Each structure stands twice: as C-alpha cells, then as structure tokens.
Amino acid sequence: MNFNEERQKRTEYIEEILKRYLPKKEGYQKIIMEAMEYSLMAGGKRLRPMLMLETYRLFGGEKKVIEPFMAAIEMIHTYSLVHDDLPAMDNDEYRRGRKTTHIVYGEDMGILAGDALLNYAFETAALAFDEEDADCAKVGKAFQVLARKSGIYGMIGGQVVDVKESGHAVSGEVLDFIYRLKTSALIEASMMVGAILAGADEEVVGTIEEIAGKIGLAFQIQDDILDVTGTTETLGKPVHSDEKNEKTTYVTWKGIEKAKDDVAAMTKEAVDGLEKLPEKDGFLRELLISLISREK
C-alpha cells in the first residue's frame, strides 16, 4: 500500500471507532444524540486520533485501550468547533461545506451539543478503565493529560485569548500563545496519550510533547496560509475570513513567504525529532510531511 492508501485505511478505522462510541439515538433526548452525530461525522482529517494511534503504535502499543481515547480526542476537537461557530463567538453558518450545528438544530441545542460532546468525550475515555489488561495508572495519567491540554491551560485557554484579542492587532508573543494553546495543545495531548498508554517513560513523553508542539504550530500556520491561498470549494468554508475580520495571523505578521518557510522548517524539526528516537514509524513521518503541502 502507498501512503494515501495507508492513510485512507486508518481514516476508515477511525470513522468506525467514532461510530461505535457514538451514543444510540434513542430516548426523549434523542435530538442531542442526532446533533452529536451530525457534528462528529461531518468528515474532517481525523488528524488528532490518527496522530494518537500512530504514536501509540510507534511505542509498540497494540491493545484496544487506545480506542476510547481516540474517540474522545475527536469529540473534544468537534465540541470546540461547535461552540466556536455559535453566534456569540465566530457566528459561522458553514463548516466543512455543511451547515453548522446551531444552524441545523438551533442555538440552544448548539450549546448543549457542544457540552454533550465534551462531557461524552470524558465519559468515553473513562471506558478505557474497563478494557481488558488496561493498566489503571497509565489510563489515569492519560486522562490527566487529556483534561489538562483541553482546558484553560490548553485549548480553552487559547480560545479565550483569541476571542478576547479579536478585532484588533495583537503582538507576535500573544499570537504565539494563542497558537500554542488553541491548536498545539490538543495535538500534544493526542501524541502524549498515545505514548503514555504504550508505556513510554516520562522523558520520552516530554520529547513527544515538544515534537507535537511543533506539528501543531506548523498546522495552524498552514491554516492561515490556506485562508489566503485556498478556495471555498476546497476548504468547505469561506476564505479570506481573517482579512475580513482584520485578524492578526502568522501570515499578516510575517508575510506569506516567511510563513511557508516556517511551516517547512517546523515540520522538518518535528520529523528530525522523531528520527532521533530508536522507534521508527514511516507512516507517521510521511503524515507530517503531507501536512505541509495540504490544500485543506
């Protein structure tokens, strides 16, 4: 199999896991299960569970205990998009080429669907305690990392500063803070959880956190680049939105050529960091490189 086939195979496996962990659509509260499915199954690259799985495999992991965490991280990523799109936040009507959750289900259900996905992420991850041969201490540790990186010292913290600083220019330092928390933190969680559950020691988990941080930054800067160079058709969302919102981005800060160079440089650093490890994973290396040239 070539890289694209390998990637497709993994994406299908992840989609199968997501479907398996989604709640049955039943009961008086059925509408919330529908809204959760609508937002979670809207497509997307499934990058976070893919990085988690691949890091888990990199360190020799081969049990089912990773699966609930793979579902959980994608649920957390998805809830953050659902709440980001709300009228009081970015007020977006389209995402991945489809109407956003609050447009389809109403604003109240949009809020509740986000809450439900966040809560259900932890509920799902907690199923890992029941997995046969699960190492309770490792699962507990993975839980701590997942929760911390999703919260005020991670993704939510970045989102808070992004919202607070919107509508005016921000310094490079603040921009860097936002990117590290809003985007990198969840990528860090993905790879760290994979490493922890596979039994990597603390120092190695620290190395993985650093590598993941660079991947997250490169990923976010590429997003800024695509907002300038991409098309609505390919991205499934409006382009030039940053310019319209007079938003400081890495591109407005450093210029598009420098931004492209930095994405390549950060990705190379991440790949080099991986190469230094005794463990090898050709797919992971190719996945990181593919992210530089992605068009959506």
Q: Cα–Cα distance between 53 and 33 in angstroms, integer?
A: 26
Contact assessment for residue 9 and residue 65, using Cβ atoms and an 8 Å cutoff? no
Q: Which is nearer to a second copy, 59 or 79 (CB)?
A: 79
Q: Please report, as residue ranges, which positions from 122 to 151 form the binding site for a second copy (by CB under 8 A).
A: 122-123, 126-127, 129-130, 136-137, 139-141, 143-144, 147-148, 150-151
Q: Please give the DSSP secondary-structure letter assigned to residue 280.
A: -
Min dist CB 112 to a second copy, Å, is 5
Min dist CB 195 to a second copy, Å, is 18
Q: Are strands 94-95 and 98-99 parallel, antiparallel or unpaired?
A: antiparallel
Q: Please report, as residue ranges, which positions from 225 to 254 form the binding site for a second copy (by CB under 8 A).
A: none
Q: Is 8 in the site for a second copy (CB under 8 A)?
A: no
- Going by C-alpha positions, the residue among 278, 258, 220, 247 that lies closest to residue 60 is 278
Q: Is 103 in the site for a second copy (CB under 8 A)?
A: no
Q: Which is nearer to a second copy, 59 or 120 (CB)?
A: 120
Please report where in the chains the tokens 């990199």 appear, as a residue: 58
**Strands annotated E in the chain:** 94-95, 98-99
Q: Is 82 in the site for a second copy (CB under 8 A)?
A: no
The residue within the footprint of a second copy, chosen from 7, 46, 48, 83 (CB under 8 A), is 83
Min dist CB 32 to a second copy, Å, is 4
Query: Checking phi first, is residue 246 left (phi over 0); if not, alpha (psi -120 to 50) or beta?
Result: left
Tokens of 251: 């591109």
Burial of 69 (0-12, 13-18, 19+ CB in 10 A): buried
Q: What are phi and psi of 286, to 5 degrees?
A: -65, -35
Q: Cα–Cα distance between 86 and 106 in angstroms, integer?
A: 10
- Going by C-alpha positions, the residue among 183, 185, 161, 120 that lies closest to residue 247 is 161
Q: Please report, as residue ranges, which positions from 158 to 197 form the binding site for a second copy (by CB under 8 A).
A: 158-161, 163-164, 174, 177, 181
Min dist CB 119 to a second copy, Å, is 4
109-133 exposure pattern, b = at least 16 Cβ within 10 A, e = fewer? bbbbbbebbbebbeebbebbeeeee
Q: Which is nearer to a second copy, 118 or 205 (CB)?
A: 118
The residue within the footprint of a second copy, chosen from 1, 2, 5, 28 (CB under 8 A), is 28
Q: Is 264 in the site for a second copy (CB under 8 A)?
A: no
Q: Which is nearer to a second copy, 151 or 273 (CB)?
A: 151
- Going by C-alpha positions, the residue among 39, 44, 43, 108 that lies closest to residue 80 is 39
The residue range among 25-33, 207-215, 245-253, 271-279 that interacts with a second copy, by the rule CB under 8 A, is 25-33
The residue within the footprint of a second copy, chosen from 4, 8, 29, 293 (CB under 8 A), is 29
Q: Which is nearer to a second copy, 177 or 283 (CB)?
A: 177
The residue range among 21-29, 241-249, 261-269, 275-283 that interacts with a second copy, by the rule CB under 8 A, is 21-29
Q: What are phi and psi of 260, to 5 degrees?
A: -65, -45
Residues that bind a second copy (CB under 8 A): 23, 27-29, 31-33, 36, 79, 83, 86-89, 106-112, 114-116, 118-120, 122-123, 126-127, 129-130, 136-137, 139-141, 143-144, 147-148, 150-153, 156-161, 163-164, 174, 177, 181
